């Protein structure tokens, strides 16, 4: 039946993975509309249960991924090349680093660059203050809130240092370990064992030919659903941020109608980019957008307290290194059963990020053929993390300096009023050429989220088909539309609370991904032991670097866009 339907629609994909994933997603949308309260209650209960009883596995799991990657980059397999001992990188280092920078971090930087540091500055995570204690208080009153001995007081210098430590913990090495682990596994099994770009392929050492059976399909369907919902969360966050920017510029009211319209526009642009091809439009626009984001960073650095920020960037590196190990294992055990802060921040981040892992992982794998495992790990963990440190240092420390000079300027709208999405625009209001800079920021956010939607549709389709580099346009259009439908349905059904509901869904969906990730480490090591010869354990002799060549010499190259 499914094969007949596939042929009738002119699709080139695995019919079981494609149609089951689509049916489950459509069913979720329909049930969410018809039984909103029941769905919310169910996922809320599951999310609270997972956070309370299994939240520690999320913290331990991501730290384990990071330790594993460092071990494999330093261990006996460090010289093994992804693609065989005679393969060489298809992209030079500079190009490769640039593409890694673009791989999925643009949306994160724009949304959280101001929002997270200022939140933690007002309510230090380790102060033990419950959020409800701060409700209704002015910035001056927040600064006077008593904290336990040794804890950082709100809006103090110690709170600022803690804020930067936690922010970079969330968006530094740990986040990129979540992306790097599946990317390394995808690259190894696709280039070494010539298996399809599916999550199930990674489990061949454990399942053998059963990766083509029901178990393998269940794994792949889970990956498709997780990626789809992970992107929907980002579309939802981007929608709120765009709505806030348009409100600041043109007075457009923030609400369901405006947000659904924004999602529709983003989806339409993504669909158009699918139809036109990336090299002719959105890919070039994406590259320009990365330049605009860097220009915004330089503008804040120059227009702000430049010397203070340059000093701050250096100091933040030390702050991050100081907090890295303790936070990697911090589970707030002394707070008893209260997981309020860590459940709402760290556990959600890790669950959300790991649902993006197949999306970003496949892209990284596709541009990393020929790299040694050591080169791969150092590059994937090093380049994006270094840029993230600079970005969060400049925006985060600028935000805290603005708040200290004008109490309430950022804390009251962002923390007290809960307008996290509007944090960037409240921040830019303190800089010259305000309206122009805000307009540029809105444009950057729109393009980042549009290209993310378009790129995700390609990756989701690849997770279904396995080998299709240039699938029929209608398949990618379908996934691009479905992403928008999921985000729009939840926003239309429950308004601003829709993102909270989707966050709960992500926390639940993230759990099987952590189980899958632990098995990935086992399967990768098992495959290395089976495949690698003694000769490959030695460093390759130096050769003249060949000129860069494109990854794919076909029209499919139009689909190898930079994920932003």
* pLDDT tens track for 523-547: 999 999 999 888 888 786 655 444 4
Q: pTM score, two decimals?
A: 0.88
- CA 426 to the chain's CA centroid: 24
Q: Specify the pLDDT at position 552.
A: 42
Q: Specify the pLDDT at position 541.
A: 65
Q: Specify the pLDDT at position 544.
A: 42
Reduced 3-state DSSP string for 102-144 = HCCCHHHHHHHHHHHHHHHHHCCCCCCCCHHHHCCCCHHHHHC
Q: Specify the pLDDT at position 493.
A: 66
Confidence band of 103 (pLDDT split at 50, 70, 90): low
Q: Specify the pLDDT at position 173.
A: 96
Higher per-residue pLDDT: 392 or 148: 392
Q: Is the pLDDT of residue 411 over 80?
A: yes
The C-alpha atoms of residue 112 and residue 349 are separated, in whole angstroms, by 11
The C-alpha atoms of residue 208 and residue 206 are separated, in whole angstroms, by 6
Q: Specify the pLDDT at position 329.
A: 93
- CA 107 to the chain's CA centroid: 8
Confidence band of 428 (pLDDT split at 50, 70, 90): very high
Decide: 445 and 242 in contact? Cβ < 8 Å: yes
Decide: 303 and 433 in contact? Cβ < 8 Å: no
For 356-424, where are the E strands, in sequence order? Answer: none
Q: Is the pLDDT of residue 330 over 70?
A: yes
The C-alpha atoms of residue 123 and residue 410 are separated, in whole angstroms, by 13
Q: In the beta sheet, which residues pair with residue 81? A: 372
The percentage of residues in the chain with a pLDDT greater than 70, rounded to a whole number, is 89
Decide: 454 and 274 in contact? Cβ < 8 Å: yes
The percentage of residues in the chain with a pLDDT greater than 90, rounded to a whole number, is 41
Q: 450, 448, 413: which is closest to 248 by C-alpha?
A: 413
Higher per-residue pLDDT: 84 or 179: 179
The C-alpha atoms of residue 456 and residue 480 are separated, in whole angstroms, by 8
Confidence band of 343 (pLDDT split at 50, 70, 90): confident
Q: Specify the pLDDT at position 336.
A: 61
Decide: 189 and 525 in contact? Cβ < 8 Å: no
The C-alpha atoms of residue 351 and residue 346 are separated, in whole angstroms, by 9
Decide: 490 and 32 in contact? Cβ < 8 Å: yes
Mean pLDDT (the chain) is: 84
Q: Specify the pLDDT at position 208.
A: 93
Q: Which of 37-41, 182-186, 320-324, 411-415 has the lowest mean pLDDT?
A: 37-41
Q: Which two tokens stand for residue 538?
A: 């030695």
Query: CA neighbours within 13 Å on the CB side: how many for 224?
Result: 32
Q: At what angle do helices 173-191 and 497-531 cross, to 10 degrees?
A: 50
Q: Is the pLDDT of residue 88 over 60?
A: yes
Q: Specify the pLDDT at position 512.
A: 87
Q: What is the mean pLDDT of residues 115-141?
A: 83
Q: Specify the pLDDT at position 551.
A: 45
Confidence band of 50 (pLDDT split at 50, 70, 90): confident
Confidence band of 72 (pLDDT split at 50, 70, 90): very high
Q: What is the mean pLDDT of residues 511-517?
A: 89
Higher per-residue pLDDT: 121 or 144: 121
Q: What is the mean pLDDT of residues 42-70?
A: 89
Q: Specify the pLDDT at position 548.
A: 46
User: DSSP class of residue 343?
Assistant: I
User: DSSP class of residue 548?
Assistant: P
Q: Which of 121-135, 491-505, 550-564 has the lowest mean pLDDT?
A: 550-564
The C-alpha atoms of residue 284 and residue 442 are separated, in whole angstroms, by 18
């Amino acid at each position: 039946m499914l094969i007949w339907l596939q042929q009738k629609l002119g699709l080139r994909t695995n019919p079981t993975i494609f149609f089951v994933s689509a049916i489950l997603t459509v069913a979720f949308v329909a049930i969410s509309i018809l039984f909103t309260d029941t769905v919310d209650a169910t996922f809320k209960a599951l999310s609270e249960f997972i956070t309370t009883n299994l939240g520690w596995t999320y913290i331990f799991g991501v730290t384990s991924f990071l330790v594993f990657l460092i071990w494999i980059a330093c261990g006996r397999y460090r010289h093994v090349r992804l693609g065989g001992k005679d393969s060489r990188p298809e992209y030079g280092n500079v190009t490769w680093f640039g593409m890694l920078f673009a791989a999925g971090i643009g949306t994160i930087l724009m949304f959280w660059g101001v929002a997270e540091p200022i939140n933690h500055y007002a309510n230090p995570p380790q102060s033990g203050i419950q959020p409800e204690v701060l409700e209704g208080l002015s910035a001056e009153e927040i600064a006077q809130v008593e904290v336990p001995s040794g804890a950082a007081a709100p809006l103090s210098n110690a709170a600022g240092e803690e804020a930067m430590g936690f922010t970079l913990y969330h968006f530094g090495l740990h986040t990129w370990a979540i992306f790097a682990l599946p990317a390394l596994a995808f690259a190894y099994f696709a280039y070494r064992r010539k298996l399809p770009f599916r999550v199930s392929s990674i489990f061949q050492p454990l399942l053998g030919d059963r990766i083509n059976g029901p178990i393998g399909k269940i794994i792949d369907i889970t990956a498709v659903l997780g990626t789809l919902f992970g992107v929907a969360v980002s579309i939802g966050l981007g929608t709120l941020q765009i709505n806030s920017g348009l409100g600041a510029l043109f007075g457009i009211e923030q609400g369901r109608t405006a947000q659904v319209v924004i999602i529709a526009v983003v989806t339409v642009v993504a669909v158009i980019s699918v139809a036109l091809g990336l090299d002719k439009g959105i890919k070039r626009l994406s590259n320009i957008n990365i330049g605009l984001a860097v220009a915004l960073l330089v503008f804040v650095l120059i227009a702000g307290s430049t010397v203070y920020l340059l000093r701050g960037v250096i100091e933040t590196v030390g702050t991050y290194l100081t907090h890295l190990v303790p936070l990697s294992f911090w589970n707030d055990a002394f707070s008893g059963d209260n997981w309020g802060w860590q459940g709402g921040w760290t556990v959600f981040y890790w669950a959300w990020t790991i649902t993006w892992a197949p999306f970003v992982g496949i892209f990284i794998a596709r541009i990393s053929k020929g790299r040694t495992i050591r080169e791969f790990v150092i590059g994937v963990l090093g380049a994006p993390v270094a840029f993230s440190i600079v970005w969060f240092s400049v925006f985060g420390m600028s935000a805290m300096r603005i708040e200290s000079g004008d109490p309430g300027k950022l804390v009251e709208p962002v923390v007290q009023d809960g307008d996290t999405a509007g944090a960037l625009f409240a921040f830019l209001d303190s800089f010259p050429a305000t309206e122009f800079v805000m307009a540029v920021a809105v444009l950057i956010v729109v393009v980042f989220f549009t290209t993310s939607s378009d790129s995700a549709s390609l990756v989701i389709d690849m997770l279904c088909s396995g080998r299709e580099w240039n699938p029929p346009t209608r398949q990618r259009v379908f996934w691009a539309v479905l992403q928008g439908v999921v985000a729009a349905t939840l926003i239309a059904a429950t308004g601003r609370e829709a993102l909270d509901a989707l966050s709960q869904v992500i926390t639940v969906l993230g759990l099987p991904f952590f189980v899958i990730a632990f098995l990935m480490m086992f399967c990768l090591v098992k495959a290395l032991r089976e495949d690698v010869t003694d000769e490959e354990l030695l460093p390759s002799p130096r050769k003249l670097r060949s000129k860069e060549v494109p990854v794919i010499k076909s029209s499919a190259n139009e689909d190898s866009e930079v994920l932003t």
